[in-house]
């Protein structure tokens, strides 16, 4: 009897702590589209990718995160007329919560020659977008991490010792929609000189 109670308690505990997953049903889905947020156009996917893509997507486990710097938007058109939207970088998916897959599903199912943005370009874009998010949400303690080591000391110093200068610095780095789009195009066209690759990440090299 004690063993039975133990097994029952263990089952309940395990069930409660099992990671939640997405539960899209292919039988209820008409089509799936993937849009590149930066290019503003559809990403061409492999023929007949829907079923395998949804199966892999449903294997994603729930995660807790503060950032989702998405490169793509997934549109899931259901047969009842509803559309589910997920923002993703290929690994992390935002849909009433955050879910993470074991592999990059955009890379896996897109046609390589039409997957226009290289890892380098995407890395720079993510850093640039993260900078704008941190500035707008006033997550000032995270700003220095987006810059190369030679610049980090400067940001930390003026933040502590010269608050007015730090405010002006934040304003200079906060781009409006037009300026943001212009710089995104520069990065995509590889005409920027704002980044260095340091410690496995693309970081901003200017003050």
Helices 149-161 + 163-173 axis angle, to 10? 130
Tell me how far CA of residue 103 lies from CA of 39, 82, 92, 109, in angstroms. 22, 27, 10, 11
Whether the predicted pLDDT of 8 surpasses 70: no
pLDDT at 78 over 70: yes
Can you tell me the mean pLDDT for 56-65? 88
Phi, psi for 87 (deg, rounded to 5): -95, 135
Query: Can you give the pLDDT at residue 2?
Result: 46
pLDDT of residue 4: 45
Check whether 76 has a pLDDT greater than 90: yes
Name the CA dihedral angle for 53, 58, 64, 66, rounded to a multiple of 10 degrees.
30
Exposed/middle/buried for residue 47 (C-beta within 10 Å: 0-12, 13-18, 19+): exposed
Model pLDDT, residue 94: 86
Has residue 18 got a pLDDT over 50? no
User: Do the beta carbons of residue 35 and residue 73 sit within 8 Å?
Assistant: yes
Neighbouring CB atoms inside 10 A of 71's CB total: 20
How many angstroms separate the CA atoms of 207 and 150, rounded? 9
How large is the average pLDDT for residues 27-33? Answer: 94
Per-residue pLDDT reduced to its tens digit, 128-149: 989 998 999 899 999 999 999 9
Mean pLDDT of 182-190: 86
Distance CA 7, CA 141 (A): 47
Is residue 19 very low, low, confident or very high in pLDDT (cuts 50, 70, 90)?
very low
pLDDT (mean) for 165-182: 92
Beta strand 41-42 with 29-36 is antiparallel
- pLDDT exceeds 60 at position 115: no
Residue 126 scores a pLDDT above 50: yes
| Predicted model pTM | 0.65
Q: Which residues pair with 33 in a beta bridge?
A: 75
Mean pLDDT computed over 57-64: 89
The dihedral formed by the CA atoms of 179, 173, 94 and 200, expressed in degrees to the nearest 10: 110
């Amino acid at each position: 009897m004690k063993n039975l109670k133990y097994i029952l308690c263990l089952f309940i505990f395990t069930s409660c702590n099992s990671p939640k997953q997405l539960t899209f049903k292919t039988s209820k889905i008409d089509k799936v589209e993937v849009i590149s947020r930066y290019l503003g156009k559809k990403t061409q996917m492999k023929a007949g990718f829907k079923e395998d893509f949804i199966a892999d997507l449903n294997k994603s486990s729930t995660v807790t995160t503060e950032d989702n710097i998405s490169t793509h938007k997934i549109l899931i058109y259901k047969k009842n007329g509803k559309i589910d939207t997920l923002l993703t970088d290929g690994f992390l998916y935002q849909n009433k919560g955050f879910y993470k897959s074991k592999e990059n599903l955009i890379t896996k199912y897109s046609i390589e020659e039409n997957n226009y943005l290289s890892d380098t370009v995407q890395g720079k874009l993510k850093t640039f977008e993260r900078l704008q998010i941190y500035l707008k949400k006033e997550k000032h303690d995270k700003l220095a991490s987006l810059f190369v080591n030679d610049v980090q000391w400067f940001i930390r110093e003026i933040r502590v010792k010269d608050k007015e200068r730090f405010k002006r610095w934040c304003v200079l780095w906060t781009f409006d929609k037009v300026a943001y789009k212009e710089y995104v195009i520069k990065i995509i066209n590889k005409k920027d000189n704002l980044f260095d690759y340091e410690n496995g990440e693309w970081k901003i090299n200017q003050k």
